[in-house]
Amino acid sequence: MPVEPGLSAEVELTVTEDDTAFALQSGDVHVLATPRIIAVCEQATMAAIEGKLEPNETAVGHTIQLDHVAPTRVGGRIRAEASLQRVAGRRLTFTVSVTDARGLVAAGKITRVIVDRDRFMENAH
């Protein structure tokens, strides 16, 4: 099946102390960390294209644009949604959003690039 606009996926997460800015050393508050939001958004982008790539291919992160607009406490549940908006050659652009029980937590775009897994690893430093 081809990779084409419209593919989408959702990932849910219950925030634990391990997901906080304090734990990830990206801040000193015990709320969901921006780096963890990015990770769950990337997880949703990969889920959206699961089973759509050739066996030797994967998609790697290229560009992340994200606005983190509201805090989520430990114990809160979030939902990250990714929707493939554009395919330009090997470049895949997704819109992403994260919500919790109170509304929008973060929103933005993530671009991934389809690569040959072996060739990519050969070039890694």
- The CATH number of whichever domain residue 95 belongs to comes to 3.10.129.10
Contact 62, 44 (CB under 8 A): no
pLDDT in tens, 79-117: 999 999 999 999 999 999 999 999 999 999 999 999 999
- 112 inside domain: yes
With a CB cutoff of 8 Å and minimum separation 6, the contacts of 94 are 44, 45, 48, 82, 83, 84, 85, 109, 110, 111, 112
- 3 inside domain: no
Tokens matching residue 123: 């070039």
pLDDT in tens, 60-74: 999 999 999 999 999
Contact 89, 40 (CB under 8 A): no
Question: 30 lies in which domain range?
Answer: 8-122
Number of structural domains found in the chain: 1
